[in-house]
Amino acid sequence: MSAELFVTQSQVTPILVQNLTRRFGAFTAVDDVSFSVQAGEVFGWLGPNGAGKTTTIRMLLGLIKPSSGSAFVSGFNSATQTKLVHAHVGYMSQQFTLYNDLTAMQNIRFYGGVHGLSSDELRQRISEIIQMAGLVGRENTLTGSLSGGWKQRLALGCAIVHHPKVVFLDEPTAGVDPISRRQFWELIYQMAKDGVTVLVTTHYMDEAELCQRVGFISAGRLVALDSVSQLKLTQMRGQVLEINVSDPEKAVRILKAAQQSHQVPLDEVALYGAQIHAVVPDAQEYNDAIQRLLTQDNIRVNSIEWIAPTLEDVFISSVKARVDAN
Amino acid sequence: MNQFAISATNLVKEFKANKHVVTAINGLSLQVAPGETYGLIGPDGAGKTTTTRVILGLLSRTSGESSVLGFDSMNDMYEIRKRVGYIAQQFSLPPTLTVMENMLFFAGIHSVSSEQQKKRIPELLAFAGLSEFMNRLAGKLSGGMKKKLALACSLIHEPQVVMLDEPTLGVDPVSRREFWNLLGNLRAERGLTIFVCTPYMDEAERCTRVGLMYEGKLIVDDSPANIKRIIPGHVLEFMPSDFAAARKLCNEMDGVLEVQTYGDKLHVFVGDVAKRKPQIEAALASQGITHDNLREIEVRMEEAFISLIRRQKESVEQDGMLTQKSEMSGEI
């Protein structure tokens, strides 16, 4: 890419990461990662602990410098224009960083003050955020006595008090129940519709399914980057079988023994409630083999069905592929 | 004596706070058979942790009955402790002890003989995949390894029942699956009874039976497959160009049982797909709302959970007993 084109692109792309690398001594935490996120996009940044997820976000926020490569947010170079980056981004972490002994409204006012909002702007933003977070009637409640869902929405409100065009959400829903999580995702998409770009990390793959596009990072390398539906088609090694039998506990012992003796090439086999899930290279080819194996041990096989992989299946498969490649 | 591993009958727990009485458990009954993997799920503040602690005898109950393996929670709590492993919510292991020292520490607490320790500790470390990390400080372990160590420690006295309170909070997907695979092995190989509290619906799917708790009561108690069948109708999913307008439109349409939001998509519950799908498509078109392909999707535990909680809340409101606990008051 020519230098000129690169500059133009960085100015219009809300998040642009180019060959980003960060080494700590001999350890490479982020290894030649490139991706970009478009305006109004909800992008999931996923990976196991220690894969380089947070290090990437820290470089985007200018909190640590890259060893090589570059990161741009709203057209500003994160390493050299850190203050400008901070003025244009919102950041919310898992810990929420709210003051528990301030009321909901005082928290918003505090964060508005930090970002230098005028008193007129602040008045308007307080009422907008109270509305958005569903905190009407609870403006003067101490933050410490709000439940998880309320706190989470208030924390988001405080993170976007200065109308940032790019928002980073680092595991924003850890420990929050499904109903509050749905409400929170509704807020995310309201922001996206107003043109805000959202990068979100989560350990919950059912939630990652809500992102328009996701990137998987594993051992510092970007291993997959696509929409959820495409990833399910391209990144899953093997196919998932759901096995319904009379005695699942016994059946899983038999299948594990077959896995260990390489009698059937099972990538994974585990109890899944009353069923068993197994990953095989080819669903049709190994269906009969599994059926025979179980039947000869007097297990009644009610059904073996080839099911679509979940994003979690795909994620684990991608991470394993990366580990095997090393 | 009963044949249940865990049993509660009309269990009530009240807390007194500033002259108010808060009812955390409000007449809960449940039975868990030996070898079951039972998931207690529910929104924040439903009473899951309190229930676990009362059953274990760590909190006294106000009324009702509860027992583990036939031992009464309040009268025989030491007998329960000998036979039950427990991981508390947001537990912490001594961080300045190594993996091995943690195992020895828990073995000591449970008075496991040194002969038994020599046999069981290596077995448990191998089971948890921690044999190579025996001499690492617990504080230096990754999040997933800490959880696995906690599980290994809770099994040191060979319990027949384990009670786990949100054991995978904050753990990445790979470690979470490893943890659940360990639980599956315990069920398959030792017939262990597992009782687990979780706010995560994909974990609920891995249980043999699930209890849904809401405001101190169990409102559903069944297998994941049956719970999904309780939900009336079929679910249609689509992404509209105008989200708010499409939601309002669907909410007001005849034959629509329920509307849930799913990120930038809508989930519309209808009784008759063949009849309602073209009606919804026509209504959207008449308002100039475009959308992607309107498709039927499978109901997961998450859709079922939200639907059940919402209906429970509505029936409570209709009874004129509107509570202050209105976390769920927003449109879902």
Mean pLDDT of B63-71: 97
Of residues A179 and B225, more confidently modeled: B225
Q: What string of DSSP letters covers A106-144? A: HHHHHHHHHTT--HHHHHHHHHHHHHHTT-TT-TTSBGG
Is A277 in contact with A269 (CB distance < 8 Å)?
Answer: yes
B139: left (phi over 0), alpha (psi -120 to 50) or beta: alpha
Q: Which amino acid is at B289?
A: I
Query: Is B263 in contact with A189 (CB distance < 8 Å)?
Result: yes
| pLDDT in the model for residue A90 | 94
Q: Which long-range contacts (CB under 8 A, 24 or more apart) does B137-140 make?
A: B137/B95, B137/B96, B137/B97, B137/B98, B138/B93, B138/B94, B138/B95, B138/B96, B138/B97, B138/B98, B138/B99, B138/B102, B139/B95, B139/B96
**B247 at the A interface (CB within 8 A)?**
no
Site from B127, B148, B165, B174 to mutate, A interface, most A CB atoms within 10 angstroms: B174
Report the range of poorest mean pLDDT among A148-152, B49-53, B324-328. B324-328
Question: Is residue A47 within 8 angstroms of chain B, CB to CB?
Answer: yes
Entry pTM: 0.86
Upper half-sphere CA count for residue A242 (Cβ side, 13 Å): 13
Does the distance separating the beta carbons of B184 and A49 come in below 8 Å?
Answer: no
pLDDT 10s digits, A235-244: 888 999 999 9
Confidence of residue A39 (pLDDT cuts 50, 70, 90): very high
Indicate the angle between helix axes A178-193 and B301-318, nearest 10 degrees.
100
For the residues B189-204, what does the mean pLDDT come to?
92
Residue A302: the pLDDT is: 95
Show residues of chain B in contact with A176, CB under 8 Å. Answer: 44, 199
Convert the pLDDT of each residue in B128-148 to its tens digit: 999 999 999 999 998 889 999
Distance from CA of B167 to the nearest CA of A (A): 11
CA distance B114 to chain A (A): 31
Q: What is the pLDDT at residue A10?
A: 53
CA-based end-to-end distance of chain A: 30
Q: What is the C-alpha end-to-end distance of chain B, expressed in Å?
A: 45
What digits encode the pLDDT tens for the residues A84-104? 999 999 999 877 789 999 999
Taking CA atoms, B206 is separated from B68, B169, B177, B250, B304, in Å, by: 22, 16, 10, 33, 15
pLDDT tens profile A201-237:
988 888 888 999 999 999 999 999 999 888 988 888 8
| Residue A6, pLDDT score | 54
| pLDDT at B59 exceeding the cut of 90 | yes
Q: Do B173 and A134 touch (CB under 8 A)?
A: no
Portion 287-316 of A in contact with B at CB < 8 A: 310, 312, 315-316
| B261 vs A148, A182, A205: nearest CB | A182
Cβ pair B148, B182 in contact under 8 A: yes
Cβ(A244)–Cβ(B183) below 8 Å? no
Instruction: Look at residue A233 in the predicted model and tell me its pLDDT.
Output: 86
Residue B330 pLDDT greater than 60, yes or no: no
The predicted model gives A42-66 an average pLDDT of: 93
3 state SS of A215: strand
B326 confidence band (pLDDT: 50, 70, 90): very low
Is B202 part of the contact surface with chain A (CB cutoff 8 Å)?
Answer: yes
Write the residue in A148, A189, A273 that is nearest to B224 by C-beta.
Answer: A273
Interface contact B240, partner A, CB < 8 A: no
Contact A249 B176 (CB under 8 A): no
Using the Cβ of A319 and the Cβ atoms of chain B, whether some distance falls under 8 Å is answered with yes
Q: Binning pLDDT at 50, 70 and 90, where does residue A9 land?
A: low
Contact B323, B215 (CB under 8 A): yes
| For residues A179-191, average pLDDT | 89
Nearest residue to A241 via CA among A211, A207, A282: A282
State what percent of residues in chain A have pLDDT above 70. Answer: 96
Query: Among A260-264, B156-160, B318-322, which is the least confidently predicted range?
Result: B318-322
Of B142, B302, B330, which is closest to A206 when you measure between CB atoms?
Answer: B302
CA distance A55 to A21: 10
Looking at residue B261, its pLDDT comes to 87
Give B215-229 as a DSSP string: TTEEEEEE-HHHHHH
Q: For residue range B114-123, what is the model confidence (pLDDT) as tens digits?
A: 999 999 999 9
Average pLDDT, chain A: 90
Q: A171 and B330 in contact by Cβ < 8 A? A: no
Q: Flag if B180 and A315 touch (Cβ within 8 Å).
A: no
- Phi, psi values for residue A264, rounded to 5°: -130, 130
The CB density around residue A298, as the number of other CB atoms within 10 Å, is: 9
Q: Is B208 on the interface with A (CB under 8 A)?
A: yes
pLDDT of residue B66: 97
The pLDDT of residue B331: 39
Alpha helices in B16-76 (DSSP H): 48-56
Secondary structure string (H, E, C) spanning A54-67? HHHHHHHCCCCCCC
Averaged pLDDT for residues B201-214: 92
C-alpha span between B260 and B101 (Å, rounded): 50
Q: What is the pLDDT of residues A285-319, one digit of tens each?
A: 999 999 999 999 999 999 999 998 988 889 888 88
- Number of Cβ within 10 Å of residue A312's Cβ equals 18
Is B169 within 8 Å of A174 when comparing Cβ atoms?
A: yes
* H runs (alpha helix) in chain B: 48-56, 77-83, 99-109, 114-127, 143-154, 173-190, 201-204, 224-230, 243-252, 273-286, 301-318
Q: Which of A186, A240, A272 to probe the B interface (max B CBs under 10 A)? A: A186
Q: How confident is the model at residue A3 (pLDDT cuts 50, 70, 90)?
A: low
Report the C-alpha gap between B31 and A69 in whole angstroms: 59
pLDDT of residue B250: 95
Q: Among all residues of chain A, which has the CA nearest to that of B144?
A: A49
> Shortest CA distance to A206 belongs to which of B32, B249, B204?
B204
Please name the member of B144, B202, B261 whose beta carbon is closest to the beta carbon of A206.
B202
Nearest to A249 among B171, B174, B187 (CB): B187
A141, pLDDT greater than 50 = yes
Computed on alpha carbons and rounded to an integer, the radius of gyration of chain A in Å comes to: 24
% of chain B surpassing 90 pLDDT: 70
**CB atoms < 10 A from the CB of A68, how many?**
11
Counting beta carbons within 10 angstroms of the beta carbon of residue A50, is it exposed (0 to 12), middle (13 to 18) or buried (19 or more)? middle
Instruction: At A46, give phi and psi (nearest 5°).
Output: -120, 150
Cβ distance A68 to A45 under 8 Å? no
In this complex, which of A147, A271, A315 lies closest to B45 when CB atoms are compared?
Answer: A147
Mutate to test the interface with A, among B20, B180, B264 (most CBs of A within 10 A): B264
Tell me, what's the pLDDT at B117? 95
CB contact under 8 A, B184 and A188: no
